[in-house]
């Protein structure tokens, strides 16, 4: 094993250059010769539900490409933990060198991560967190501070209300949550709940939109039917926000920042797609807390460290900002 790692290290040092877009990294036939030639990484991605997710997959593919010395096997979990567990077991059977896991929800990973640990395969968790009894079951985690993201959005709302002299009692919020049990949902919902408690805003409803545009639209249409008073929608990603805007416009209402004129104020997260960024510029979304999907370079760095028998940081938070209209940018 050690000799193989030294060989891998040497290949690694020779090959660390940026990967071309058309690299052959998607090939997943892990033959013995590939194993000898490349560092084999099994990547269990939870799905393809959002623009953010697709950008995240691309980031990993770009960093762990053939030109950088990797054989990357990607398994799409299609939003189901059972699929992800199956993928990890397959990676263990294939004796991959590393596993990268983007988990759909936080709980339920103890058994399969123990199996990976027993097989001697380091697991790098990205994006959402795993909630396990024994933290040594994963090597390290790279992702976002989802509570801070939520705080940035509620702080923006606080400033907006103050600047427009809108009373807290006039605020009626609907929270279109992400996939329930996902760290991004847990953190963002937690930040909103705390602000609702602190300021006494009316939280009209909390319903999951599963981080998708389709579900966001469906949920928003139902909310508009049931609660006429809603004037703020806290969408836990911008695909949901895009769906919500479509539902608002189909209902003959306006998504915008003139709350006092009857417009519905949309707040969101991610800001990965140009479409979402443009919606901020058009004033259809009040603000977006950035969620950074570019985990690939950091994963690459972590693997390099592990190959050099160095210890990477256990938890690594990516840097993030806000998407605002140009006149609001500090
Ligand atoms: O876990 C990160 C979240 O998952 C992103 O905000 C969302 O778009 C994605 O689906």
**CB neighbours of 53 closer than 8 A, spacing ≥ 6?**
45, 46, 47, 211, 293
pLDDT at 36: 72
CA of 142 to the centre of ligand 1 (A): 14
Q: How far is the CA of 53 from the centre of ligand 1 (A)?
A: 6
The distance from CA 213 to its chain's CA centroid, rounded to whole angstroms, is 15
Tell me the domains of the chain and their CATH numbers.
40-143+293-318 (3.40.50.2300), 146-290 (3.40.50.2300)
DSSP state at residue 259 = G
Q: How far is the CA of 233 from the centre of ligand 1 (A)?
A: 17
Predicted pLDDT at 20: 41
Q: CB neighbours (10 Å) of residue 7?
A: 13
Q: Which is nearest to 306 in space by CA: 38, 30, 39? A: 39
Q: Is the dihedral of CA 151, 152, 153, 158 positive or negative?
A: positive
Q: Is residue 177 in contact with ligand 1, taking CB distance under 6 Å?
A: no
What are 51's two structure tokens? 């623009």
29: which residues sit within 8 A by CB, 6+ positions away? none
pLDDT at 274: 96
CA distance 96 to 122: 10
Check pocket membership of 284 for ligand 1, CB cut-off 6 A.
Answer: no
Q: Is the dihedral of CA 203, 245, 258, 288 positive or negative?
A: positive
- Two tokens at 264? 């519905």
Measured CA to CA, the distance from residue 273 to residue 295 in angstroms comes to: 17
Give me the pLDDT at residue 27, please: 41
Q: Which of the listed residues 47, 291, 317, 320 should we mutate to test ligand 1's pocket, taking the one with most ligand atoms within 8 A of CB?
A: 291
Residue 167 alpha carbon to ligand 1 centre in Å: 32
- Judged by DSSP in three states, 221 sits in helix
State which of 53, 76, 188 you would mutate to test the pocket of ligand 1, scoring each by most atoms of that ligand within 8 A of its C-beta: 53
At residue 214, the pLDDT reads: 98
pLDDT per residue of the chain (330 residues) written in tens, 0 to 9: 444 544 444 544 444 444 544 333 344 455 555 667 899 999 999 999 999 999 999 999 999 999 999 999 999 999 999 999 999 999 999 999 999 999 999 999 999 999 999 999 999 999 999 999 999 999 999 999 999 999 999 999 999 999 999 999 999 999 999 999 999 999 999 999 999 999 999 999 999 999 999 999 999 999 999 999 999 999 999 999 999 999 999 999 999 999 999 999 999 999 999 999 999 999 999 999 999 999 999 999 999 999 999 999 999 999 999 999 877 754
Calculate how far, in angstroms, residue 288's C-alpha sits from the geometric centre of ligand 1.
Answer: 13
Give me the pLDDT at residue 265, please: 98
Tell me if 50 sits within 8 A of 212, measured CB to CB.
yes
Strand (E) or helix (H) holding 266: strand 265-270
**Whole-angstrom distance, CA of residue 206 vs CA of residue 176:** 6
Among 48, 50, 145, name the best residue to mutate to test ligand 1's pocket (greatest count of ligand atoms within 8 A of Cβ): 50
Beta-bridged to residue 314, according to DSSP, are none
CB 52 near ligand 1, within 6 Å: yes
């Amino acid at each position: 094993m050690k000799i193989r790692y030294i060989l891998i290290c040497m290949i690694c040092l020779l090959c660390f250059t940026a990967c071309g877009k058309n690299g052959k990294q998607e090939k997943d036939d892990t033959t013995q010769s590939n194993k000898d030639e490349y560092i084999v990484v099994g990547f269990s991605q939870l799905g393809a539900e959002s623009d953010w997710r697709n950008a995240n997959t691309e980031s990993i593919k770009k960093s762990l490409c053939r030109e950088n010395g990797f054989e990357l096997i990607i398994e799409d979990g299609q939003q189901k933990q059972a699929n992800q567990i199956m993928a990890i077991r397959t990676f263990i059977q294939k004796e991959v060198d590393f596993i990268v896991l983007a988990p759909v929800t936080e709980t339920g990973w103890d058994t399969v991560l123990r199996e990976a640990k027993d097989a001697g395969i380091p697991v790098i968790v990205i994006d959402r967190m795993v909630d396990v009894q024994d933290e040594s079951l994963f090597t390290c985690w790279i992702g976002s501070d989802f509570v801070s993201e939520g705080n940035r959005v509620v702080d923006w709302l606080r400033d907006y209300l103050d600047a427009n002299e809108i009373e807290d009692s006039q605020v009626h919020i609907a929270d279109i949550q992400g996939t329930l049990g996902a760290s991004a949902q847990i953190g963002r919902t937690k930040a909103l709940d705390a602000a609702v408690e602190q300021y006494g805003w009316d939280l009209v409803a909390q319903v999951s939109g599963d981080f998708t545009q389709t579900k966001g639209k469906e949920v928003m249409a139902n909310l508009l039917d049931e609660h006429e008073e809603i004037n703020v929608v806290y969408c836990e990603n911008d695909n949901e926000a895009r769906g919500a805007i479509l539902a608002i416009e189909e209902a003959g209402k306006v998504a915008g920042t003139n709350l006092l004129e009857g417009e519905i104020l949309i707040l969101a997260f991610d800001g990965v797609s140009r479409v979402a960024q443009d919606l901020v510029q058009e004033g259809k979304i009040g603000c977006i807390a950035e969620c950074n999907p570019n985990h690939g370079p950091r994963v690459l760095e972590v693997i390099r460290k592990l190959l050099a028998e160095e210890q990477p940081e256990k938890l690594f938070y990516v840097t993030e900002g806000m998407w605002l209209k140009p006149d609001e940018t500090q």
